[in-house]
Structure 1
Amino acid sequence: MRFHWLFAALAIPGLSMAAEGMWTLDNPPTARMQAEYGFTPDSGWIKRAMLGSVRIAGGCSASFVSKDGLVMTNHHCASQCLDQMSTAKKNLVADGFIAKRREEELSCPEIELNRLEQITDVTEQVKSATAGLDGAAFKSAQTAIKAKLTAACVGTEKDIVRCDVVDLYHGGRYQLYKYHRFQDTRLVWAPEKAIAFFGGDPDNFNFPRYDLDITLLRAYENGQPAKIENYFPFSKNGAAEGEMVFVTGQPGSTQRQLTVAQLTTLRDVSLLNNVLRLAELRGVLEQYSKTSPEAERTAEHALFGVENGYKALRGRLDTLLDPALLQQKQAEETALREFVAKKPELQAKIGGAWDAIAAAEQVYRQIEPQFGMIEAERGFSSKYFSYARDLVRAAEERAKPNGERLPEFAESKLPELEQQLFSTAPVYPAFEKVTLALSLTKMREILGADDAFVKQVLGKQSPDQLSAALIDGTKLGDPAVRKALWQGGKEAIAKSSDPFIKLALAVDPAARAIRQRYEKDVESVLQKNTELIAQARFIQQGTNAYPDATFTLRLSYGEVKGYQQGGRKVAPFTTIGGAFERDTGAEPFALPASWHAAKDKLNLSQPYNLVTTNDIIGGNSGSPMINRKGEIVGLVFDGNIQSLGGAFWFDQRYNRTVAVHSGAILETLGKVYGATDLTQEILAH
């Protein structure tokens, strides 16, 4: 799909961009909201919104919805927990789950919840530490100051506190985000996948939708449900058409402030390669899924992620392939460069930044195959190898002073890493053999059969042979083995006979070498020079612009509103009755038996899914949608197909957020799933 209509909007003088923006909560666009909707949230409203919002560390958003730590997010955001708790005899993804008593709530092995509690500006500390430095020295200094700041922030409370230095405006600002960490997260309720992802891939990123894409979790502390003062109460009636609504969530990444050189590399290299990789992986996983019911079950979570990622990245690639986007971005870049050129002091300091970035992007294009396959692990697609890489590197890095470690092994990062390494989630050898063999095959194809690194890895074996030998010989599927290696440090790693540990040790010198080149010649150059461009933007525009998304808490505002597509009007609401009309009895349009059994009890005119003009992107899945009172009116789970271009800019005529209506959640929770206790807990405020 080519989004020509999106760029035609640029030629319309005075086009309103009212709802645009993913704003940090310390800099909300209060003047704009007041001018457009007559509402200004006060500091108390903002604080409650911040403390009621939750980040799932693995890449989603969520919110607290009761004083007893009940957390609402999407089904697809918690599907990894459902998958990890399933067996061949009990498939929680397909069949759903409900804990009738709190004693029945299931511990999710790898879900960490973060609640943002404090934002501190540390721009001067970071920039002072890197002033006058280039290349590897710049990177080392930046790593050291970030480690120092986060370590001081966490102090002695690493089990309950997480701190991250957040890069905003591509280095224009640095802020220290302090989170409360909840690592004991338990599964409370999830509907069947057939209704959580009703319509499957055909309906994904589309509207109308009829999805109950929700899961309820619970945060625990000291073995008891966490006591939460700030949570979002539910609105039974939801929001009306035209009503102002807000989304507080964790948008993952946007590229609205990148240079033209960065965008063209993204188009020509990163997006293109990833779209092709995911397309091929999707075919392999689909074929594997057909080999047995167990293969279908164990591949289901990965296949969903691949299909969703392929569709999202394809939409972004299509957007970048439209010449109008690059023309517009070039015009914006030219205007900023001309602004700088007219000020001699700025020109001397900043004028060369765009050319430096372009040169770094050329280096990246040259080294991307090696970097992607070796350091980014695209040539070793296996959970076993990821465990081995983390164990091998952790043994090396933890022996160093905190400020000299690779950033992912800083003291402040270790609790999350330990949770992943010690997870009791099962690993499925047959599935791992398929993904590892494919990735080894692609590594040989892309780097070449005569490449020295490929020869080092494969020797005389084929990818299938090596994959089977590694997986048949490893013990890393056992969390006790991983924990022993972690605790044993360098000595235990050196003595290990595990084939994946040996492989990770053997390839680590090459991986570190290509990483060092990337950090020296690409990453540090981009970081330093995007900081300079950000300074120019601040001088030109001030801080009235919002920063690109960084998987940190943001606020967007908009309204419930339909749109035009292909000459037809798309209404802003669907109904529960519409789901029954869409039901065909065959996947992916087959309603579960529980819904058919409850049909006579349901209010079929109850609004079900809705669309709004809020500005979101991937990572916002699971975000609460709230009204002016701070009440839940919806649960964000998707955007429409037009919103995929929102990685690069926003057009409120077409970009839409898709959410589950709060009334539909309450209606089905009680009448379909009989969860009256949960309904009462949600409504008790």
Structure 2
Amino acid sequence: MFKRLVLPAALLAISAQVQADEGQWQPYQLPQLKAELKKIGISIPAEKLADLSKHPMSAIVSTGGCSASFVSNEGLIVTNHHCAYDAIQRNSSAKKNYINDGFLAKTRAEELPAGESTRIYITDKVDNVTKEITQGLGANLSGRERREQIQSRIKKLIADCEQDKAYRCSVPSFHRGLEYYRIRQMMIRDVRLVYAPPDMIGNYGGDIDNFEWPRHTGDFSFIRAYVGKDGRPADPSPDNVPYKSKDFLVVSAEGIKNGDPILLAGYPGRTSRYKLPSEIRFARDTDYPVRAAEMLADIATIEAATKGNADDEVRYASVVKGINNRLKKTQGLIDGFARKDIAAIKDGQDAAFRNWLIGSSKTPAEAKGLLAKLDAIIAEDMALSQEELAYGVATNSDLFNSARALYRLAIEKEKPNAQRESGYQERDLAFIKGRLSRLEQSFVSKVDQARLQAALQRYAKMAKHPQGLDALLPSVEAAADLYQKTQLTDTAKRLAWMEKDRAAFQQSDDAFIQLALKLHDIGMSLENRRKEVDGQLDFIIPQYMEAVIAWKKSEGKPVYPDANSTLRVTYGTVGSYSPRDGVTKGPFTTVEGIAEKHTGKDPFIAPSNLLAAIREQRYGVFKDPILGTVPVDFLTSADTTGGNSGSAVMNKRGELIGLNFDSTYESITKDWYFDPKITRAIHMDIRYMLWVMKEVDHADNILKEMTIKYPRGVSNKK
């Protein structure tokens, strides 16, 4: 291998020439951004922002897929409406439809369970464990051997960390495997729905407005974390008490204006800023178009199968919403790649990097060899992902996926816990049970059958099929029989299989269990091939990333790891943008825009009491002095992505002024390339939330619980 160009410790240094607004920073990096934060007007000391035990970072939490924050010392949490949508949907029925009507618990006793698998994660400790993961891994290991050794070390570090059962630990990689950090999080597992506005507010504009600007969505909901009487996480119980959160965010109704600085903290999901040009072209030309077509077809199947049945529509509301959101983002990426040739931009950057690497290396031949190996394994990775996608399409059934997971669990339980595959250890059983139980509220046999049959037809037309799979799959016609010969539709019987051994599965005549057994070897073959490829990537990519970071720093460019669902901080300013020539879009929308969009037809149906409040201009202290009305949503230049939904948007003092919930359509490609001219994140203005709570839904009990900083000295106690 070529001579190492950068030591891991050197990653702690950031060039002084950081590009404003770009970067999803790990908290420990913030002191090195002190000058940038001060420049835009952030008054919180950077050292305080880096301390997870201090305000405001100690108030920022994750729901496992979204971000959120404590807003009282009684475990009250605010997040997006779409982040609480599962909880809203699971408590809804055609007769008691909280999606349409909204929900407000006036007392603690009225709060509803958010769901068996709903969790709140509070990050309290982060340790660099790179040496423990990578030290001593020889260059002669096969990819699969390397991958399994890394996973074994990760599992040991996690087991050591989880001696205290109050915590859930993880060891994600950063910079594509160059660094590893062990993250400890308190995991609260009794979560309850407190308040959600009706869909007409929380999802105003629906999928039509998704990723669009201007926007008029009140994307907020409240949940509460409960623990045992000893203050420690406990299973859901009527005896539990609200979690006494160490810190919470003060809610500021003082407002913001164009040009004001903001901080945003949350758990962004995935970005791909360091991907190669070949990976961009694969996503653009092959992967994303196929995935978009799949999602579009699946949605059409679900809608056709549930049409005319209100209960079925409610059951699949959250499923359809989730697919629609991913579809809109995927299509936005496709359109963004067409609008701006990011691959060509990356070509130029990649060529400059390769020339720099070869020119800087004392052994140019080794540098060239590294790059050749990198290109080869990336090609293998992309080819394998096509087969994995095809397998997923061919098995698009909740019942099949349940049967497959149950059979795999039976096999893994034959091993000592430490040797089981991640996802099937003792620590994972509650999550498996939660997924299996969740079908109680989000599954209909005839809909699942329609999805599987339609997917089998689409699979037949796909370009790449996993070897041996076709001969084992049921025909479209035979797929219908599976649903007549299974008991997995019954929740109790489904859960009972968690306790059974491999022999019980082999002796079963349940049609879906038999199918899971038939396809098991194909699935394992794909999994083992994935381990081989990922293990080779684990060897090559860190060397590549080390060199990329050295090159970027030499040019004064920001050095931050891609998002990976861990706690990050970004910053920016409130501002407009120009998506195309001659068009400028301002940074605020107002309640008058809600009335203007109102058509009386879904998704532009505003509640009558909200329209009345607008018509009568009952704005009170939430009236913006410049806008002359109540603001709804606003734009900033913050660097966000999926997973940042629900992230706290804070002013220069760390007070809550908004909730992140989306990006503009033109910004979607920021996952691959950050363009400061057009990248804008969309946030709900906290003044709109407070106004809805006071004037529309009369959520006085929650308003009283929060600490709200009103303009002109008005107190929330009055």
TM-score normalized with structure 1 length? 0.91
| 1:224 partnered with 2:241 | yes
Residues 325-474 of structure 1 correspond to what in structure 2 (within 5 A)? Answer: 325-345=342-362, 347=364, 350-374=367-391, 377-423=392-438, 425-426=440-441, 427-446=443-462, 452-458=468-474, 462-463=475-476, 465-474=477-486
Q: CA shift at 1:106, angstroms? A: 0.8
Which of the numbers 568, 585, 590 marks the counterpart of 1:570? Answer: 585
Q: Is the 8 A contact 1:19 1:615 kept in 2?
A: yes
Q: Displacement, 1:145?
A: 0.9
- 2:169 corresponds to 1:146: no
CA distance in 2, matches of 1:219, 1:473: 41
Find the counterpart in structure 1 of residue 548 from structure 2: 537
User: In the alignment, which residue of structure 1 is the partner of 2:143?
Assistant: 135
Cα distance per residue 1:101-154 (max 9 Å; x no partner)? 111111122311211111100111111153322311111111111111111111
Shift of 1:441: 2.1
Q: Is 2:545 the partner of 1:524? A: no
Aligned to 2:198: 192
Residue type at the aligned position of 1:225: P
How far apart, in 1, do the equivalents of 2:576 and 2:695 lie?
29
Which residue is 1:287 aligned to?
A: 304
> Which of 39, 44, 49 is equivalent to 2:48?
44
Map of 1:548 onto structure 2: 562
**Is the alpha carbon distance of 1:485 and 1:282 closer, same or farther for their aligned partners in structure 2, counting shifts above 3 Å?**
closer
Assess if the C-alpha contact under 8 Å between 1:560 and 1:572 holds in 2.
yes
Aligned with 1:103 (options 109, 112, 115): 109
* 8 A contact 2:277–2:344 mirrored in 1: no
User: SS in structure 1 opposite 2:28?
Assistant: coil
* Cα distance between partner residues in 2 of 1:488 and 1:682: 48
CA contact 2:287–2:386 (8 Å) conserved in 1: no
Q: What does residue 121 of structure 2 align with?
A: 114
CA contact (8 A) 1:238 1:632 kept: no
Q: Deviations over 1:559-601 (max 9, x none)?
A: 1111223423322111122211221222221102342354437
Q: What displacement does 1:422 show? A: 4.1
Please tell me the residue identity of whatever aligns with 2:389. G
Which residue does the alignment assign to 1:56?
A: 63
Deviates more, 1:24-33 or 1:146-155: 24-33
**Structure 1 residues 562 and 292 mapped into 2: Cα distance closer, same or farther (>3 Å)?**
same
Choose the corresponding residue for 2:260, options 219, 243, 251: 243
Shift of 1:665: 0.9
Deviation at 1:398, TM superposition (A): 2.8
**Alpha-carbon distance between aligned partners in 2 of 1:195 and 1:652, rounded to the nearest angstrom:** 30
- Conserved in 2, the CA contact under 8 Å of 1:71 and 1:217? yes
Indicate the larger mover: 598-607 or 656-665. 598-607
Q: Answer whether contact 1:143 1:403 (CA < 8 A) is retained.
A: no
Alignment of 1:13-28 (within 5 A): 17-28=19-30
Give distance in 2, aligned partners of 1:219 and 1:438: 40
What secondary structure, in the 3-state scheme, does the structure 2 residue paired with 1:408 have? coil
Are 2:272 and 2:562, in contact at CA under 8 Å, matched by a contact in 1?
yes
Residues 594 and 354 (structure 1), Cα distance of their counterparts in 2 relative to 1, 3 Å cut: farther
Q: Which aligned pairs between 1:77-88 and structure 2 lie closer than 5 A? A: 77-88=83-94
Partner Cα separation in structure 2 for residue 20 and residue 346 of structure 1:
34
Identity %: 28
The question of whether the paired residues in 2 share the 8 Å contact of 1:356 and 1:525 is answered with no
- 1:505 deviates by 1.7
Indicate conservation of the 8 Å contact 1:246/1:627, yes or no: yes
**How many Å apart are 1:449 and its aligned residue?**
10
Pick which of 235-244 and 296-305 moved more. 296-305
Structure 1 residues 330 and 52: alpha-carbon distance in aligned structure 2, compared to 1, 3 A threshold? same
Please provide the CA RMSD for this pair: 2.5
> Deviation string for 1:6-40 (max 9, x for gaps)?
xxxxxxxxx99411111111112323222443646
- CA, structure 1 residues 417+238, in 2 after alignment: closer, same or farther (shift >3 Å)? farther
- Residue in structure 2 matching 1:483, options 495, 498, 501: 495
User: What one-letter code is carried by the residue in structure 2 that aligns with 1:503?
Assistant: L
Aligned to 1:32: 36
Amino acid at match of 1:21: G
Q: Deviations over 1:290-336 (max 9, x none)?
A: 34333433333222222221221112123334673222212222222
Report the equivalent of 2:700.
Answer: 676
Q: Which amino acid aligns with 2:544?
A: I
1:423 deviates by 4.1
Match of 1:561 among 557, 568, 575: 575
Supply the distance in 2 between the matched residues of 1:71 and 1:497 (Cα, whole angstroms). 46
What does 1:200-219 align with in structure 2 at a 5 Å threshold?
Answer: 200-219=206-225
Instruction: Tell which deviates more after alignment, 356-365 or 638-647.
Output: 356-365
Deviations 1:385-426 (A, max 9, x none): 222122111111232234533222244444433332344742
Matched position secondary structure for 1:62: strand
Deviating above 6 A after TM superposition, structure 1's stretches of 4 or more consecutive aligned residues are 447-451
> Does 1:663 find its partner at 2:687?
yes
CA offset at residue 648 of structure 1?
1.2
Q: Which residue of 2 aligns with 1:180?
A: 186
Higher helix share: 1
Change (3 A) 1:347 1:487: farther
Distance 1:368 1:171, change over 3 A: closer
Map of 1:10 onto structure 2? none
Instruction: Report the counterpart of residue 7 of structure 1 in structure 2.
Output: none
How many angstroms does 1:451 deviate by?
7.5
Residues 544 and 640 of structure 1: CA distance in aligned 2, closer, same or farther (over 3 Å): closer
Mapped contact 2:71–2:251 kept (Cα < 8 A)? yes
Output the CA distance in 1 between the equivalents of 2:192 and 2:478: 38
Give 2:702's aligned amino acid: L
Residues 22 and 558, structure 2, Cα contact 8 Å, conserved in 1: no
Partner Cα separation in structure 1 for residue 576 and residue 340 of structure 2: 28
Q: How many residues align?
A: 661
Structure 1: how far apart are the matches of 2:397 and 2:195?
A: 30
CA spacing shift, 1:131–1:265, aligned 2, 3 Å:
farther
- Cα 1:353–1:401, aligned 2, differ >3 Å: closer, same or farther? farther
Out of 364-373 and 393-402, give the one that drifted further. 364-373
Structure 1 position 246, deviation (Å): 0.9
Against the structure 1 CA distance between its residues 256 and 447, is the aligned structure 2 distance closer, same or farther, given a 3 Å change threshold? closer
Is the CA contact 1:573–1:607 (under 8 Å) kept in the aligned structure 2?
yes
- Indicate the larger mover: 659-668 or 569-578: 569-578
Q: In 2 relative to 1, CA 322–559 (structure 1 residues): closer, same or farther, beyond 3 Å?
A: closer
**Match for 2:286: what amino acid?**
V
Checking the alignment, whether the CA contact within 8 Å between 2:216 and 2:589 is kept in structure 1 is yes
Corresponding position of 1:652:
676
Alpha-carbon separation, structure 2, partners of 1:510 and 1:556? 43
